[in-house]
Each structure stands twice: as structure tokens, then as C-alpha cells.
């Protein structure tokens, strides 16, 4: 069964900078935007772009992610030919196979999967980016430029450029230089970590990279620079839409707040480009007599009797009378008891903020200020005050 293009979706990372949010689940499984999980965006982009064969490479704490993905049915990827394939690390005969050692090594170990479908093109994606993209346009440019590899790129604020792989290009989109996380960036055109390869070129370079013991087996750090050096034709596909790599708590919080903007691409359904998700069947949410909700997103099963402003509420959240929630993210099943105040915080799944407790603090411009996280299933004691740098916060399920 031949496919023109298949996708390899990297979903194995821990996302350790998301701290307590990824203690028990892989980063792509982290809830986002009130209704979604991070991986929904890449999966939906694939199916909307006509890519019906997606390998999802998992490794870190995969149980929630595997359960969530199931047979791929919510994303229309439950297919008899192709569809979603979950690809965890594995062992083979003669001690072959091992834990994935880097993004390139993960794909290298799954060359056999790719070969099953004899694709002309392989699209390498990340499972933790928030964006909507039609990959067929990238493929069109890839063909037109006769590139061996096309990298999707977008302009980032110059002050952020050092966090990315920075590209410079010729007028015909050909990539002239590529520097991974440069201290002094030459420009601000950043790699999005979305790569489209001709399969043979990818295979050759994965094998060569595997044989290089000094390599970290990372696309951005090793494979792409080697390709550029060896004369592989690399092309940049300029992307103009909304894109976020939500790898840190501040960027995660920012991206959730972004969907509160009426102009957000993510907030409204676009029938031409839906974002599919698996979500529980729940009744509509209820706003009580004393409930006050403004500039927020609220989802099914919530019961609001307090004040909610500038916040994102996932399903089954309870906000009791007198409670105030501002500039915060409340994950599924979170409870904010009477007269508690939650601001600039993330309350993780099933966590409880006790009566009269105060969680989070207003930004004060200092380096020590941060978004406060109440970990999964933790309980904040009544009347307790909690801010981002309180040490006990890292303990889950414990009265803090």
C-alpha cells in the first residue's frame, strides 16, 4: 500500500520545563485551550491536509497519550489502510533497538514503519505545537523548488531568536545557512521544527547520523546542519499564521490566554479547518445567580457561582460562591472553593483550592514572579497563601 506522504509525529518528550503539568503525562497529552490536548493540532492538520497515515512516536509516560489516541477515530484516522500508528521504542533481535536517543534517532529506529508505505515524502512534526497549517502548500513548494528537504519557518521577535534554529535564505527559498539556537542570531527567520523530506534523502542521513558517535541525534542540532554541509538542497517554507511552541510554563500560559482574543484562529470553529479532539460527553455548563464570567472560555460540565475573568476553564470545573478566578487556567475537574482567589495560576486536573485560599499573585516585574501551578490532584488548604516560588508546590496529591 503506497502513500504519497506520511507523517511522523514526535510525541515522546517529557517537556520537563512544563514542570508539574508533565509529571505523569507526556507533553502532547497536556490539556490546552479549554477543550483540546496539544497533539490535536498536529493530528488535525494532518487529516485536513489529506495525510491519512501518521506514526506517533511516544516514549515518556505514554499511558494517557495512548489511551487518548486510541484507534485515532476522533481525528478521522481510524483507517483500514494507513491511519494512526503508535510507535513506542522497542527491542529487536541481537540487542537491537533502544530507548529513543533524540528526535533523529527516534525516526531512524522507525525506518521500517516508513518503508511499509513506500512514501515519496516524509513529514516530521512535533506533537506540542499550537497552529493550523495546510501541509499541502508546503509540499507544493517542496516540489516546485525540487528541494530534498523543506523546513517550515516563521519570523519570530528578534529577542526570542536565540531559542530557535535560525535560517537565512536566498530569494528562491533555498536555505543558505542554519544555526541551532545561536547566541548571536544572524536573523529572525526561525525553524518551526516541521520538516518535509524526500524519503531516500532522509533515510541516508538518518543512517549517517546514527553512525556518528559524536552526534546528539537531533534534527536541528545534527541532521539539518549535516545535510546543509553535504550539499542537500534545503528550502524554507514561510509560514504566516499563528504558531506557538508551548514548551515552558510562561509560553503555555500565554498561548492559552491568546485564545481569549476574538481574533484567535483557535477560538472559533473554522469549518474549512476544524481542530478535532476527543472530549467527554457532558451537559452544558451552568452559571448561577452569583456567577460572573467575562472574557473567558468555559466548557461543558462546569458550575460557576463565583467570578471568572480572563481565564480558560476546562470541563467539570467548579467555582463556588464568592470565589474569584483571574488570568488563570483551570484544568478538568479543578475546584475553587468559596472566597478563594486564584490569579495568574494554573490549577491542574482534579486539584482543589480550599476555602479562602489565595493562589498566585499579580505580576510585579520582578525576576522571581511566575505563574503559580497547583499540581494534579493536590489540595490547597483553606486560607493558605501560595505563590509561584513556594517549595511545597512540586508535591502532587499532598495538602499544600
Partner 1 sequence: MNQLHGILFADRAEPEMCILTRSGNTSALSFGGNFRMVDFMLSNMVNAGISDVGMIVQGGCQELLNHVGSGKAWNLSRKRGGLEVLPPLGCRPYVGWMDALSDFLPYLHHIRQEYVVLAPGDCVINFPIDDMLKAHKAGGSDITLACRSQEGHDNEEESLEIYLLSTSLLIQLTERCIGRQPSFRQNFLDESNSVSIKSYRFGGFSGTVRTAEAYYERSMALLQSEARKDLFDPDRPVRTVDSFMPGAYYGPEASVERSLISDHCWIEGTVSDSVLLPGVTVESGASVSHCVITQGTVVRQNTHLDHVIMIGNAAIRQPEVSPAKV
Interface residue list for partner 1 (CB under 8 A): 33-36, 73-74, 259-260, 262, 266-269, 274-279, 281-301, 303, 312-313
Which of 343-382 are b and which e, b meaning 16 or more Cβ less than 10 Å from the residue's Cβ?
bbbbbbbbbbbbbbbbbbbeeeeeeebbbbbbbbebbbee
DSSP calls for 91-106 = --GGG---S--SHHHH
In terms of CB distance, is 4 or 78 closer to partner 1?
78
User: 313 and 328 in contact (C-beta within 8 Å)?
Assistant: no
CB of 40 to partner 1, least distance (A): 9
In terms of CB distance, is 129 or 318 closer to partner 1?
318
User: 7 and 72 in contact (C-beta within 8 Å)?
Assistant: no
**For residue 323, with 0-12 CB atoms within 10 Å meaning exposed, 13-18 middle and 19 or more buried, which class applies?**
buried
In terms of CB distance, is 13 or 72 closer to partner 1?
72
In terms of CB distance, is 73 or 188 closer to partner 1?
73
CB of 288 to partner 1, least distance (A): 7
Which of 82-116 are b and which e, b meaning 16 or more Cβ less than 10 Å from the residue's Cβ?
bbbbbbebeeeeeeeeeebbbbbbbbbbbeebbeb
CB of 277 to partner 1, least distance (A): 5
In terms of CB distance, is 189 or 266 closer to partner 1?
266
**CA distance linking residue 43 with residue 72, whole number of Å:** 9
Query: Quick one: which H or E segment has residue 352?
Result: strand 352-353
CB of 358 to partner 1, least distance (A): 24
**CA distance linking residue 360 with residue 341, whole number of Å:** 8
In terms of CB distance, is 221 or 377 closer to partner 1?
377
In terms of CB distance, is 187 or 274 closer to partner 1?
274
In terms of CB distance, is 157 or 283 closer to partner 1?
283
**CA distance linking residue 370 with residue 344, whole number of Å:** 8
Backbone angles phi, psi at 369, to 5 degrees: -75, 145
Q: For the chain, first and last CA: distance in Å?
A: 55
**CA distance linking residue 101 with residue 184, whole number of Å:** 28
CB of 295 to partner 1, least distance (A): 5
CB of 297 to partner 1, least distance (A): 4
CB of 289 to partner 1, least distance (A): 5
CB of 267 to partner 1, least distance (A): 6
Amino acid at each position: 500500500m503506497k502513500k504519497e506522504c506520511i507523517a511522523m509525529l514526535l510525541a515522546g518528550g517529557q517537556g520537563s520545563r512544563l514542570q508539574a503539568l508533565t509529571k505523569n503525562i507526556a507533553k502532547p497529552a497536556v490539556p490546552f485551550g479549554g477543550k483540546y490536548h496539544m497533539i490535536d493540532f498536529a493530528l488535525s492538520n494532518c487529516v485536513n491536509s489529506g495525510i491519512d497515515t501518521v506514526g506517533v512516536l511516544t516514549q515518556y509516560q505514554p499511558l494517557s497519550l495512548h489511551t487518548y489516541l486510541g484507534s485515532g477515530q476522533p481525528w478521522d484516522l481510524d483507517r483500514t489502510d494507513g491511519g494512526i500508528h503508535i510507535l513506542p521504542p522497542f527491542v529487536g533481535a541481537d540487542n537491537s533497538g533502544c530507548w529513543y536517543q533524540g528526535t533523529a534517532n527516534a525516526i531512524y529506529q522507525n525506518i521500517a514503519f516508513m518503508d511499509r508505505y513506500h512514501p515519496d515524502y516524509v513529514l516530521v512534526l512535533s506533537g506540542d505545537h499550537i497552529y493550523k497549517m495546510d501541509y499541502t502548500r508546503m509540499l507544493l513548494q517542496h516540489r516546485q523548488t525540487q528541494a530534498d528537504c523543506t523546513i517550515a519557518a516563521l519570523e519570530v521577535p528578534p529577542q526570542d531568536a536565540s531559542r530557535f534554529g535560525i535560517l537565512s535564505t536566498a530569494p528562491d527559498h533555498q536555505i543558505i545557512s542554519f544555526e541551532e539556537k545561536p547566541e548571536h542570531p544572524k536573523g529572525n527567520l526561525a525553524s518551526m521544527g516541521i520538516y518535509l523530506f524526500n524519503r531516500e534523502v532522509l533515510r541516508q542521513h538518518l543512517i549517517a547520523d546514527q553512525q556518528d558517535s559524536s552526534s546528539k541525534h537531533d534534527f536541528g542540532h545534527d541532521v539539518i546542519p549535516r545535510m546543509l554541509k553535504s550539499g542537500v538542497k534545503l528550502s524554507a517554507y514561510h509560514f504566516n499564521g499563528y504558531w506557538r511552541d508551548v514548551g515552558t510554563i510562561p509560553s503555555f500560559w500565554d498561548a492559552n490566554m491568546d485564545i481569549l482574543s476574538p481574533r484567535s484562529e483557535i477560538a472559533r470553529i473554522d469549518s474549512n479547518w476544524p481542530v478535532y479532539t476527543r472530549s467527554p460527553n457532558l451537559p452544558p455548563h451552568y452559571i448561577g445567580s452569583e456567577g460572573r464570567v467575562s472574557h473567558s472560555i468555559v466548557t461543558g460540565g462546569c458550575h460557576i457561582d463565583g467570578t471568572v475573568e480572563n481565564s480558560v476553564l476546562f470541563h467539570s470545573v467548579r467555582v463556588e460562591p464568592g470565589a474569584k478566578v483571574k488570568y488563570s487556567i483551570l484544568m478538568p475537574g479543578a475546584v475553587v472553593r468559596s472566597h478563594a482567589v486564584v490569579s495568574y495560576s494554573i490549577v491542574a486536573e482534579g486539584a482543589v483550592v480550599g476555602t479562602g485560599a489565595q493562589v498566585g499573585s499579580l505580576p510585579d516585574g520582578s525576576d522571581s514572579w511566575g505563574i503559580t501551578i497547583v499540581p494534579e490532584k493536590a489540595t490547597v488548604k483553606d486560607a493558605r497563601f501560595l505563590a509561584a516560588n513556594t517549595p511545597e508546590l512540586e508535591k502532587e496529591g499532598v495538602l499544600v
